[in-house]
Structure 1
Protein backbone atom coordinates (compact mmCIF):
# COMPACT_ATOMS: atom_id res chain seq x y z
CA UNK A 1 0.00 0.00 0.00
CA UNK A 2 1.09 3.57 -0.67
CA UNK A 3 -0.28 7.05 0.02
CA UNK A 4 -0.92 9.46 -2.83
CA UNK A 5 -2.26 13.01 -3.13
CA UNK A 6 -4.95 13.34 -5.79
CA UNK A 7 -4.36 16.12 -8.31
CA UNK A 8 -7.86 15.81 -9.80
CA UNK A 9 -11.11 14.16 -8.77
CA UNK A 10 -10.97 10.38 -9.27
CA UNK A 11 -14.28 8.54 -9.28
CA UNK A 12 -14.82 6.30 -6.23
CA UNK A 13 -11.50 7.45 -4.74
CA UNK A 14 -11.68 11.12 -3.79
CA UNK A 15 -11.52 14.80 -4.68
CA UNK A 16 -8.58 17.00 -5.64
CA UNK A 17 -6.22 17.42 -2.68
CA UNK A 18 -7.35 14.27 -0.85
CA UNK A 19 -4.67 11.98 0.56
CA UNK A 20 -5.67 8.37 -0.07
CA UNK A 21 -4.08 5.00 0.44
CA UNK A 22 -4.07 2.75 -2.62
CA UNK A 23 -2.40 -0.45 -3.81
CA UNK A 24 1.15 0.27 -4.93
CA UNK A 25 0.59 -1.00 -8.48
CA UNK A 26 -2.57 1.08 -8.93
CA UNK A 27 -0.83 4.14 -7.51
CA UNK A 28 2.37 3.94 -9.57
CA UNK A 29 1.09 2.42 -12.82
CA UNK A 30 -2.21 4.25 -13.13
CA UNK A 31 -2.69 7.28 -10.88
CA UNK A 32 0.87 8.67 -11.00
CA UNK A 33 1.50 7.57 -14.60
CA UNK A 34 -1.67 9.33 -15.83
CA UNK A 35 -0.91 12.48 -13.82
CA UNK A 36 -3.94 12.01 -11.57
CA UNK A 37 -1.87 11.86 -8.36
CA UNK A 38 1.58 12.32 -6.85
CA UNK A 39 3.24 10.25 -4.18
CA UNK A 40 2.50 11.61 -0.70
CA UNK A 41 6.01 12.49 0.43
CA UNK A 42 6.66 14.62 3.49
CA UNK A 43 7.41 17.67 1.33
CA UNK A 44 4.28 17.24 -0.80
CA UNK A 45 2.11 16.83 2.32
CA UNK A 46 3.58 20.02 3.79
CA UNK A 47 2.96 21.87 0.51
CA UNK A 48 -0.65 20.58 0.43
CA UNK A 49 -1.19 21.75 4.02
CA UNK A 50 0.16 25.24 3.20
CA UNK A 51 -2.10 25.49 0.12
CA UNK A 52 -5.10 24.42 2.19
CA UNK A 53 -4.30 27.02 4.88
CA UNK A 54 -3.91 29.76 2.25
CA UNK A 55 -7.23 28.76 0.67
CA UNK A 56 -8.92 28.80 4.11
CA UNK A 57 -7.49 32.27 4.86
CA UNK A 58 -8.70 33.55 1.47
CA UNK A 59 -12.20 32.11 2.05
CA UNK A 60 -12.34 33.67 5.54
CA UNK A 61 -11.28 37.05 4.10
CA UNK A 62 -13.97 36.82 1.38
CA UNK A 63 -16.57 36.00 4.03
CA UNK A 64 -15.56 38.97 6.21
CA UNK A 65 -15.65 41.32 3.18
CA UNK A 66 -19.08 40.00 2.17
CA UNK A 67 -20.44 40.57 5.70
CA UNK A 68 -19.10 44.14 5.75
CA UNK A 69 -20.61 44.85 2.32
CA UNK A 70 -23.94 43.35 3.42
CA UNK A 71 -24.08 45.77 6.36
CA UNK A 72 -23.35 48.68 4.04
CA UNK A 73 -25.98 47.63 1.46
CA UNK A 74 -28.65 47.06 4.13
CA UNK A 75 -28.80 50.80 4.86
CA UNK A 76 -28.78 51.92 1.20
CA UNK A 77 -31.73 52.96 -0.91
CA UNK A 78 -31.35 52.90 -4.70
CA UNK A 79 -33.64 55.17 -6.68
CA UNK A 80 -34.37 54.36 -10.31
CA UNK A 81 -36.47 56.36 -12.74
CA UNK A 82 -38.60 55.09 -15.61
CA UNK A 83 -41.20 56.35 -18.03
CA UNK A 84 -44.67 55.15 -17.20
CA UNK A 85 -48.30 55.33 -18.23
CA UNK A 86 -51.18 56.75 -16.23
CA UNK A 87 -51.70 53.62 -14.12
CA UNK A 88 -48.12 53.51 -12.79
CA UNK A 89 -46.99 50.73 -15.13
CA UNK A 90 -43.54 51.25 -16.59
CA UNK A 91 -42.81 51.32 -20.31
CA UNK A 92 -40.22 48.55 -20.24
CA UNK A 93 -38.90 47.12 -16.99
CA UNK A 94 -36.22 47.54 -14.33
CA UNK A 95 -33.79 44.59 -14.49
CA UNK A 96 -31.07 43.31 -12.19
CA UNK A 97 -28.53 44.96 -14.52
CA UNK A 98 -30.26 48.34 -14.02
CA UNK A 99 -30.09 47.86 -10.25
CA UNK A 100 -26.40 46.85 -10.38
CA UNK A 101 -25.58 49.88 -12.56
CA UNK A 102 -27.46 52.25 -10.23
CA UNK A 103 -25.74 50.79 -7.18
CA UNK A 104 -22.35 51.30 -8.78
CA UNK A 105 -23.16 54.76 -10.11
CA UNK A 106 -24.69 56.23 -6.96
CA UNK A 107 -22.82 54.36 -4.22
CA UNK A 108 -19.61 53.07 -5.89
CA UNK A 109 -20.54 49.47 -4.97
CA UNK A 110 -19.85 47.02 -7.78
CA UNK A 111 -22.02 43.89 -7.68
CA UNK A 112 -22.43 41.26 -10.36
CA UNK A 113 -26.00 41.39 -11.70
CA UNK A 114 -26.27 37.60 -11.27
CA UNK A 115 -25.99 38.05 -7.49
CA UNK A 116 -29.10 40.21 -7.46
CA UNK A 117 -32.01 37.84 -6.91
CA UNK A 118 -34.85 39.50 -8.76
CA UNK A 119 -37.68 36.99 -9.16
CA UNK A 120 -39.04 38.99 -12.10
CA UNK A 121 -38.26 42.37 -13.60
CA UNK A 122 -39.87 45.38 -11.91
CA UNK A 123 -42.68 46.73 -14.11
CA UNK A 124 -44.40 49.32 -11.92
CA UNK A 125 -43.62 52.32 -9.71
CA UNK A 126 -43.06 51.64 -6.03
CA UNK A 127 -40.66 50.41 -3.37
CA UNK A 128 -39.20 46.92 -3.73
CA UNK A 129 -37.03 44.89 -1.35
CA UNK A 130 -34.44 43.08 -3.48
CA UNK A 131 -32.31 40.22 -2.13
CA UNK A 132 -28.62 40.14 -2.98
CA UNK A 133 -26.53 37.00 -2.42
CA UNK A 134 -22.99 38.26 -1.82
CA UNK A 135 -21.47 34.96 -0.69
CA UNK A 136 -22.78 31.40 -0.18
CA UNK A 137 -23.21 32.28 3.51
CA UNK A 138 -24.11 35.99 3.24
CA UNK A 139 -27.25 37.58 1.83
CA UNK A 140 -28.69 41.04 2.31
CA UNK A 141 -31.68 43.10 1.21
CA UNK A 142 -31.51 46.30 -0.82
CA UNK A 143 -34.34 48.83 -0.96
CA UNK A 144 -35.10 49.79 -4.57
CA UNK A 145 -37.38 52.77 -5.18
CA UNK A 146 -38.83 53.19 -8.67
CA UNK A 147 -40.08 56.70 -9.47
CA UNK A 148 -41.55 58.28 -12.56
CA UNK A 149 -39.03 59.98 -14.80
CA UNK A 150 -39.26 63.74 -14.64
CA UNK A 151 -41.23 63.87 -11.37
CA UNK A 152 -38.54 62.85 -8.83
Structure 2
Protein backbone atom coordinates (compact mmCIF):
# COMPACT_ATOMS: atom_id res chain seq x y z
CA UNK A 1 0.00 0.00 0.00
CA UNK A 2 1.29 3.46 -0.87
CA UNK A 3 1.18 5.91 2.01
CA UNK A 4 2.15 9.54 2.62
CA UNK A 5 4.13 9.89 5.84
CA UNK A 6 2.77 12.57 8.16
CA UNK A 7 5.69 12.20 10.59
CA UNK A 8 9.21 10.84 10.36
CA UNK A 9 9.37 7.14 11.24
CA UNK A 10 12.90 6.00 12.10
CA UNK A 11 14.47 3.66 9.56
CA UNK A 12 11.31 3.79 7.41
CA UNK A 13 10.72 7.25 5.89
CA UNK A 14 10.90 10.99 6.48
CA UNK A 15 7.86 13.24 6.87
CA UNK A 16 6.24 14.07 3.53
CA UNK A 17 7.63 11.04 1.68
CA UNK A 18 5.38 8.79 -0.42
CA UNK A 19 6.40 5.16 0.03
CA UNK A 20 5.12 1.66 -0.63
CA UNK A 21 4.78 -0.32 2.63
CA UNK A 22 3.18 -3.63 3.57
CA UNK A 23 -0.62 -3.44 3.75
CA UNK A 24 -0.74 -4.78 7.32
CA UNK A 25 1.95 -2.35 8.51
CA UNK A 26 0.00 0.57 7.04
CA UNK A 27 -3.47 -0.51 8.26
CA UNK A 28 -2.44 -1.80 11.69
CA UNK A 29 0.30 0.62 12.72
CA UNK A 30 1.04 3.66 10.57
CA UNK A 31 -2.50 4.89 9.86
CA UNK A 32 -4.03 4.24 13.34
CA UNK A 33 -1.10 6.01 15.04
CA UNK A 34 -1.39 9.03 12.73
CA UNK A 35 2.06 8.46 11.24
CA UNK A 36 0.83 8.11 7.66
CA UNK A 37 -2.26 8.26 5.48
CA UNK A 38 -3.17 6.43 2.28
CA UNK A 39 -1.63 8.00 -0.83
CA UNK A 40 -4.87 9.03 -2.51
CA UNK A 41 -4.99 11.55 -5.34
CA UNK A 42 -6.20 14.16 -2.83
CA UNK A 43 -3.35 13.39 -0.39
CA UNK A 44 -0.78 13.63 -3.18
CA UNK A 45 -2.26 16.97 -4.29
CA UNK A 46 -2.02 18.27 -0.69
CA UNK A 47 1.60 17.09 -0.52
CA UNK A 48 2.41 18.91 -3.77
CA UNK A 49 0.69 22.11 -2.57
CA UNK A 50 2.58 21.93 0.75
CA UNK A 51 5.91 21.51 -1.09
CA UNK A 52 5.13 24.54 -3.29
CA UNK A 53 4.16 26.60 -0.23
CA UNK A 54 7.42 25.68 1.54
CA UNK A 55 9.42 26.55 -1.57
CA UNK A 56 7.67 29.93 -1.89
CA UNK A 57 8.25 30.68 1.81
CA UNK A 58 11.94 29.76 1.48
CA UNK A 59 12.30 32.11 -1.51
CA UNK A 60 10.56 34.93 0.39
CA UNK A 61 12.78 34.32 3.41
CA UNK A 62 15.90 34.37 1.24
CA UNK A 63 14.81 37.67 -0.35
CA UNK A 64 14.13 39.18 3.10
CA UNK A 65 17.52 38.06 4.45
CA UNK A 66 19.29 39.36 1.32
CA UNK A 67 17.66 42.79 1.80
CA UNK A 68 18.79 42.94 5.44
CA UNK A 69 22.31 41.74 4.61
CA UNK A 70 22.63 44.27 1.77
CA UNK A 71 21.47 47.14 3.99
CA UNK A 72 23.94 46.16 6.72
CA UNK A 73 26.96 45.42 4.51
CA UNK A 74 29.42 48.28 5.01
CA UNK A 75 27.24 49.86 7.72
CA UNK A 76 29.16 52.09 10.15
CA UNK A 77 28.03 51.80 13.74
CA UNK A 78 29.21 54.55 16.09
CA UNK A 79 29.18 53.77 19.80
CA UNK A 80 30.26 55.96 22.70
CA UNK A 81 31.42 54.10 25.78
CA UNK A 82 32.55 55.32 29.19
CA UNK A 83 36.26 54.80 29.74
CA UNK A 84 38.53 54.75 32.73
CA UNK A 85 41.23 57.38 33.29
CA UNK A 86 43.67 54.81 31.85
CA UNK A 87 41.77 54.93 28.54
CA UNK A 88 40.22 51.46 28.67
CA UNK A 89 36.60 50.39 28.96
CA UNK A 90 35.03 49.21 32.13
CA UNK A 91 34.63 45.57 31.12
CA UNK A 92 34.51 45.29 27.36
CA UNK A 93 32.27 45.87 24.40
CA UNK A 94 30.77 42.47 23.61
CA UNK A 95 28.51 41.24 20.81
CA UNK A 96 25.47 41.67 23.07
CA UNK A 97 26.04 45.44 23.17
CA UNK A 98 26.52 45.54 19.39
CA UNK A 99 23.23 43.67 18.99
CA UNK A 100 21.46 46.15 21.29
CA UNK A 101 22.90 49.14 19.39
CA UNK A 102 21.80 47.66 16.05
CA UNK A 103 18.34 47.03 17.49
CA UNK A 104 18.12 50.73 18.45
CA UNK A 105 18.83 51.54 14.81
CA UNK A 106 16.09 49.23 13.51
CA UNK A 107 18.02 46.01 12.82
CA UNK A 108 16.94 42.90 14.70
CA UNK A 109 20.19 40.94 14.96
CA UNK A 110 20.80 38.28 17.62
CA UNK A 111 24.15 38.35 19.46
CA UNK A 112 24.88 34.82 18.18
CA UNK A 113 24.93 36.15 14.62
CA UNK A 114 27.73 38.65 15.33
CA UNK A 115 31.43 37.83 15.44
CA UNK A 116 34.33 40.26 15.77
CA UNK A 117 37.27 40.00 13.42
CA UNK A 118 39.46 40.41 16.51
CA UNK A 119 39.67 37.91 19.35
CA UNK A 120 37.37 38.56 22.29
CA UNK A 121 35.49 41.70 23.21
CA UNK A 122 36.60 45.23 22.31
CA UNK A 123 38.47 46.83 25.22
CA UNK A 124 39.61 50.23 23.95
CA UNK A 125 38.46 53.01 21.61
CA UNK A 126 39.11 52.65 17.89
CA UNK A 127 37.80 51.25 14.62
CA UNK A 128 36.82 47.59 14.48
CA UNK A 129 35.12 45.24 12.07
CA UNK A 130 32.51 42.58 12.72
CA UNK A 131 30.76 40.00 10.59
CA UNK A 132 27.04 39.32 10.86
CA UNK A 133 26.06 35.82 9.76
CA UNK A 134 22.60 35.21 8.32
CA UNK A 135 20.66 32.16 7.20
CA UNK A 136 21.27 30.84 3.69
CA UNK A 137 25.04 31.38 4.13
CA UNK A 138 24.81 35.16 3.75
CA UNK A 139 26.93 37.56 5.75
CA UNK A 140 27.51 41.28 6.09
CA UNK A 141 30.54 43.17 7.34
CA UNK A 142 30.02 46.21 9.53
CA UNK A 143 32.46 48.80 10.83
CA UNK A 144 32.28 49.69 14.48
CA UNK A 145 33.64 53.08 15.49
CA UNK A 146 34.08 53.10 19.26
CA UNK A 147 34.66 56.42 20.98
CA UNK A 148 35.59 56.76 24.60
CA UNK A 149 34.00 59.26 26.93
CA UNK A 150 35.76 59.79 30.24
CA UNK A 151 33.53 59.29 33.19
CA UNK A 152 33.29 62.38 35.37
CA UNK A 153 32.48 62.21 39.05
Q: TM-score, normalised by structure 2?
A: 0.87
Preserved contact between residue 75 and residue 141 of structure 2 (Cα < 8 Å): no
Indicate which of 81, 103, 115 corresponds to 1:117.
115
Task: List per-residue Cα deviations over 1:118-148 (Å, max 9, x = no partner).
Answer: 4632222222211111213211111112110
Range with greater deviation from structure 2 (12-21 or 88-97)? 88-97
Range with greater deviation from structure 2 (79-88 or 16-25)? 79-88
Structure 2, unmatched stretches of 5+, are none
Compute the displacement of 1:36 (Å): 0.9
Compute the displacement of 1:87 (Å): 5.0
Structure 1, unmatched stretches of 5+, are none
Judging by fraction of residues, say which structure has more strand: 1
Q: Distance in 1 between matches of 2:127 and 2:15?
A: 46
- Matching of residue 4 in structure 1 with residue 3 in structure 2: yes
Preserved contact between residue 95 and residue 122 of structure 1 (Cα < 8 Å): yes
Q: TM-score, normalised by structure 1?
A: 0.87
Stretches of 4+ moved more than 6 A in 1?
none
Preserved contact between residue 63 and residue 138 of structure 1 (Cα < 8 Å): no
Task: Give the aligned CA root-mean-square deviation in angstroms.
Answer: 1.9
Q: Distance in 2 between matches of 1:120 and 1:39?
A: 55
Q: Distance in 2 between matches of 1:87 and 1:3?
A: 74
